[in-house]
Chain A
């Protein structure tokens, strides 16, 4: 620590401001460094409703360990989360709850739809099953499988991280409006 301090002092004393910046700083664009921060500090809200929720436990668990991707802090409160992981079938009865949870999350927020049911209703073409959670909320990444393997979920999260780091346009999210009858927060 002592040594570092003296090195910095020497640098300030001997070199011009331009050289100084090269020795212990780097330049970038603000949006890039913000994106870098966001992608490596996702706080997921595990919206586990069914079988996929059990596989999501595996993703969080010791073998697959989502913490390796910076998404360690699982939060069950929408106010503290920025990644909504929809894991499992969304029924017609559940849809208003899902919309409400999404509305309560703060910007920036992302949605990963895990599994066939959340993405399209899966093999439940049935009277009480919403045919995909993208009918009510905007989805960024769809992970196929019934249920998807933990590797597939990790791949989905990594895809989302790429999207965030590239500042990928998200028209589905920008144009999103709450479904009729569910507008109020």
Chain B
């Protein structure tokens, strides 16, 4: 992979020859380009057209108060052609501004707003540079290093109905020809913390807007104030429908920065946990999607099987939902005797159940009429918005990190990547249901051939000793004491690593300064990029279709707002 990338970098270098002051380097296996802030847009354009980096995965800020130019704006690019990744960084002083990347990628919109909200970074030309995660009465920028983590600011009211500004329209001015409607948060037709606003002409949506941040619980600030292993329970609560997958994504990132390889048994356990999580995540997506369309039965039916997965987790570690079983360096403990047999039995029952759900939902005339051809998203749009995961595949783009950048031995396993053709709501459910079947295939293959050996590495500077050693001998006790007091200390440096989570690419951008806490941990949540397309996707559709669209996007507030 990196050879192709090196070649590509050479081509790009030639193309960028006219642009001065560009520095190429490789850091912990990631390709990095340092650019001056005025050149960022031309460089992004060249990378998109000549370098075939078709995805803008993430934009984020990092604060270095000691530096002369205090902020760093970081762009992460991905190529679906050759799975290459590239990181662009540019320095920015306080009070300076940088051009918005929206003309190059539509998907830059919310990521830039977030960087503005968290750091106060100004993006010139951004039409809606206002707060996105914190409330509108919030003062200051919380991810700056000089903002105290526990300095709360109260809100007294929510913002009235508002929309995004466009070239012709001011988003805060409502058109009195149409009926404004506010749905959520906590609304009969909306999921939990989501808020959708719309202007209606009859039942047709003329303008739509969303307001997020109602579950912004400061994950990234919490990560900066906790040692590496204590961040793991916080990651559970990102996408809480498939908690173990977030643990794995985070630990994999830290392990790559540390340069350690986990044992085969830990990899196998992680794959099983991840794939069970994918199944139960899709259960929620399909089940509640049905509820939103009036099909309550499938939810109750599917939840029986989610409970079975919970029972498996409980047997494994005692927790049901937020498992936190992954540790940096491997797993916290081995699976109990007979657990893999239980897993295989679950797969068998689940397989029959999926066929039943398939008939119950997909075979249902009402369900099909409500979803087929509704609010489709083309492959080009999906890529431009930064869609990943089942939604991208429903639009017909076969990108799955388990195939394109295999980790933990996914390349040794036999499974297929289902894709859709139209990218409508119907295709999304088809893809999800088929993915559940494929996940079961993966689990069965792994659970039948569990490798022998240890479930974690035994590096004294990374993994705590076993309890019997802590209480049984002085070395174990000292080792335990030292690691708890000192903490895991990865070398100074930075890394971006991604896994294929249930909703798409779950990326972690980790900056370490060599201390016991992460210096900066940016999560690239899959549904953040997806949900920003919502106002555009539902424009011109019926209000009932908007509800169906939200459900099919499977927006999980925990990872959306973090």
Partner pick for A124 among B185, B218, B284, CB 8 A cutoff: B218
In the assembled complex, B142 has its CB within 8 A of some CB on chain A: yes
Over the window 33-58 of chain A, the binary record of Cβ atoms lying under 8 Å from chain B Cβ atoms (1 yes, 0 no) is 00000000000000111110111011
Are A128 and B134 neighbours in the complex by a CB distance under 8 Å?
yes
A116 vs B186: C-alpha distance when bound (angstroms): 20
Q: Smallest distance from the beta carbon of B139 to chain A beta carbons, Å? A: 11
Interface residues of B in 196-240 (CB under 8 A from A): 213-218, 221-222, 233-234, 236-237, 240
Known A93-B214, A126-B217, A127-B147; judge A49-B192 contact (CB<8 A): yes
Q: Is the CB of B217 within 8 A of A128?
A: yes
Q: Which of B82-90, B151-159, B447-455, B538-546 contacts A (4 or more CB under 8 A)?
A: B151-159
B524 within 8 A of A: no
B158 in contact with A57 (CB, 8 Å) = no
Q: Digit string of B133-168 for contact with A (CB within 8 Å is 1, else 0)? A: 111001000100001111111111110000000000
Which bracket fits the contact residues of A? 35 or more
Task: Give the interface SS of chain B, mostly helix, strand, loop or mixed.
Answer: loop
Chain A residue numbers with a CB within 8 Å of B241 are 54
Contact indicator B218/A96 (Cβ below 8 Å)? no
Instruction: Judge whether A70 is part of the interface by a CB distance below 8 angstroms.
Output: no
- By a CB distance below 8 angstroms, the chain A residues around B134 are 92-93, 127-128
Tell me how far the C-beta of B268 lies from the nearest C-beta in chain A, rounded to whole angstroms.
27
A88 shortest CB reach to chain B, Å = 7
Chain B contact residue count (CB 8 A cutoff): 51
Question: Are A126 and B558 neighbours in the complex by a CB distance under 8 Å?
Answer: no
Asked if A149 CB lies within 8 Å of chain B CBs, one says yes
In the assembled complex, how far is the CB of residue B151 from the closest CB belonging to chain A, in whole angstroms? 5
Min CB distance, A67 to chain B, in Å? 11
User: Which one, B62-70, B299-307, B437-445, B496-504, is touching chain A?
Assistant: B299-307
Q: Is the CB of B322 within 8 A of A124?
A: no
Closest to B237 in A: A51
Q: Is the Cβ of A125 less than 8 Å from the Cβ of B300?
A: no
**Residues from chain A with Cβ under 8 Å of B240 in the complex:** 50-51, 54
- B residues near A (Cβ < 8 Å) are 133-135, 138, 142, 147-158, 185-188, 192-193, 213-218, 221-222, 233-234, 236-237, 240-241, 243, 284, 300, 303-304, 306-307, 310, 320-322, 557-558, 561
Can you list 16 A-B contacts with CB-CB less than 8 angstroms, sorted by A residue number? Answer: A50-B240, A51-B322, A53-B192, A54-B284, A54-B321, A55-B320, A63-B303, A63-B304, A89-B215, A92-B154, A94-B193, A97-B186, A101-B186, A128-B217, A147-B322, A182-B156
